[in-house]
Structure 1
């Protein structure tokens, strides 16, 4: 296994972004943020990539922000702390936005602890599949912080506002079974099956027309903030694009040819 903090690979149309510092439980530091951004931009631009799986090496998915980085940040002169933090937040938000807005299906394959920013990263994906031993915690409050990686946007949309407040305020650990029951995640599988199950699900979700999938995702991701009329209007624009694609033309031609037999 590479000693890089991020391992990015593509096999059979499925990209895998693997957080890869298992000795530290895969925390996210400045270098990791930069490599995540690079990998996600590559996945978005590569036409051979049909879906993305995000996972971790070893016994954890992601322990969250790097505490050594936090210590270094706080050791800076007081007048620099806020601005340095603001810049770092911008990089974090860039990575999470790229993941959330990727025009392809995304799956978090959570192989262990998903804590703090790690939980945010998992929730930024379209779907979350967890190993039976996995657990989730919005652990920011234990560090005197608030969720800063999109969790305050993603979590209420999955579990409802009251559940989200309870998980953020308490910072308590949620096991895979409870996370499934409350709608925080979509699937739980045996630990040994996680990698192959995530890849198989990614292939299933990405088997259709790439333009249609990307356009449908772009509307669905904004639909909770839009009126019914706005969803129809955005859908009409997207459908007009679909009408021009080779996939649509080929599908209609194949159907008509089959009906002649």
Structure 2
């Protein structure tokens, strides 16, 4: 299967998926999200035993692409809902993939990029990596990531990261448990492959069964949280803050919020 926004490299039984829009800091488009869903589904049906997710160039993923933001001002509620459902499908596909996943975070991973990086089973990051759920800064609601983040770091820390929208580095992400290891840039790819090879020593059926078990234990919570997130997302995109946030971002100015 051919892809336009990602590169898929197989070194059997390890698969590497590279976000391949370096000129746009690997920002996500609708096409990239769809291709990532496709490669997750394809991977689940192959003999692949580990998947490495990384970014081309100096960034992992800078979040949603500017072109997608420009389109948002003219979208209908149904179109906004479809966008949110596609992102939810991507996050769930990555989270529930039956083979181990390793994120090799080579640079900034912002907003949805932080979601992709931290939803993997293992997250390796360089000292230059930066993370942040920055949605509230531009009038968005970090609805979908909130469901998964709360499971990962707990309610108090989740509120800190989502309500402030602040950026944080690899060392702090390590302290939060969102990153497993911080490694130098030149060691990132070798370490990711070394970790993948070490996982191959385990029973593939046992590993898949364990991942299914963990997903099942969280499914009731996640299913309800994602439904609530989709509703919150749809509601927020009808708000004046959402429209002002997009306008300010596109016009490269500070937003003016109505109090």
TM-score by length of 1: 0.79
Deviation at 1:225, TM superposition (A): 7.0
Report the number of matched residues. 219
* Counterpart-to-counterpart distance in 2, 1:153 and 1:188: 25
CA contact (8 A) 1:120 1:147 kept: no
Larger Rg: 1
* 1:238 equivalent in structure 2: none
Question: Quick check: 1:130 aligned with 2:129?
Answer: no
Matched, 1:12 2:12: yes
CA–CA distance in structure 2, aligned partners of residues 63 and 225 of structure 1: 28
| Residue 156 (structure 1) aligned with residue 150 (structure 2) | yes
Alpha-carbon spacing, 1:114–1:221, altered in 2? closer, same or farther (3 Å): same
C-alpha RMSD of the superposition: 1.8
Q: Is the 8 A contact 1:134 1:175 kept in 2?
A: yes
In structure 2, how many angstroms separate the alpha carbons of the residues matched to 1:198 and 1:188?
A: 11
- 1:45-194 → structure 2 map (5 Å cutoff): 45-47=45-47, 49-76=48-75, 80=76, 82-148=77-143, 150-194=144-188
Query: Given that residues 104 and 206 in structure 1 are in contact (C-alpha distance below 8 angstroms), is that contact kept between their aligned partners in structure 2?
Result: no
Secondary structure at the aligned position of 1:18 is classed as strand
Look up the match of 1:197.
191
1:31 CA drift (Å): 0.9
For residue 36 of structure 1, what is the aligned residue in structure 2?
A: 36
Offset of 1:117 from its aligned partner? 0.5
1:86-113 per-position Cα deviation (integer Å, ceiling 9, x unaligned): 1111211111111111101011111111
Whole-Å Cα distance in 2 between the matches of residues 186 and 153 of structure 1? 20
Deviation at 1:203, TM superposition (A): 1.6
Distance in 2, matches of 1:24 and 1:177, equals: 25
- Distance of 1:180 and 1:23 partners within structure 2: 28
Q: RCO greater where, 1 or 2, for CA within 8 Å and sep 6 or more?
A: 2
Q: Distance in 2 between matches of 1:155 and 1:33?
A: 20
Aligned equivalents of 2:49 and 2:18: distance in 1?
A: 17
SS at match of 1:194: helix
* Structure 1 counterpart SS, 2:60: strand
